[in-house]
Amino acid sequence: MKKALRKIHLYLGLFTLPMGLIIAITGILFVIGFDEDTGATINEYTSLEIVEEGKEVEFLKKWTAENNIAMPRTNEVMEHKGSIIVGTPYYNITVTVEDDGTSIETIKKSFIGVLFLAHEAKDLRWYVKILSILLGLSMTTFYISGIIIASFKKTVDGKKVVKKEYVVTLILGFVITTLIIIISAV
């Protein structure tokens, strides 16, 4: 059984390592102050034209051509907080119609910004979400199989017993983590 668990542990680890590194590195960067807009090129514009609902893409095609601004490679439209977003997670244009005109914002994410989107499985295609779920399931498998592989030792009479220091360490880990989270939330 240990041999099979070691193989599962190894191959899942090798396959999910890239996604795991992305999650770990962007997690560290987020904690120290970086986010999905780090390194992004964000430009804001205004137009006196008031765009009719449903005509945002036609307006953007005309407006981007007139102002020599790149149109996103896709005309996929999303609604977000009363605005229309056209484009991809990497490059998109947000159109917000206001009483006195239309505001336009272009966002071109940096590579690190796209990695943050992958960390959150946000706004990217369904297969990134599948990788994130696979990583989560793999990490659960790693911990369970790792505990099974390392926690037991044979006694003189051949029976398997749990190594007590591992159980104590595991319990301490749960208690300390729970206390730190509770203390930081109060």
Domain range summary for the chain, segments of one domain joined by +: 2-34+114-185, 41-108
Lookup result for tokens 């272009």: 106
Q: What is the rounded average pLDDT of the residues 50-67?
A: 86
Contact assessment for residue 48 and residue 99, using Cβ atoms and an 8 Å cutoff = no
pLDDT score of 146: 76
Contact assessment for residue 58 and residue 174, using Cβ atoms and an 8 Å cutoff = no
**Alpha-carbon span 89 to 11, nearest angstrom:** 31
Residue 135 clears pLDDT 80, i.e. is over it? yes
Q: What does the buried/exposed string (b/e) look like for 41-63 if buried means 16 or more CB atoms within 10 Å of the residue's CB?
A: eeeeeebeeebeeeebbebbeeb
List pLDDT tens digits, range 65-92.
Answer: 999 999 998 877 888 888 889 988 889 9
* More confident call, 108 vs 141: 108
Residue 168 clears pLDDT 60, i.e. is over it? yes
Q: What is the rounded average pLDDT of the residues 126-139?
A: 88
Residue 141 clears pLDDT 90, i.e. is over it? no
Lookup result for tokens 């070691």: 6
Contact assessment for residue 56 and residue 77, using Cβ atoms and an 8 Å cutoff = yes
Residue 156 clears pLDDT 60, i.e. is over it? no
Q: Give residue 148's pLDDT band: very low, low, confident or very high (50, 70, 90).
A: confident
The helix/strand/coil state of 101 is strand
Report the run of H or E that residue 106 belongs to, with start and end: strand 101-108
pLDDT score of 78: 84
Q: Which amino acid is at 11?
A: Y
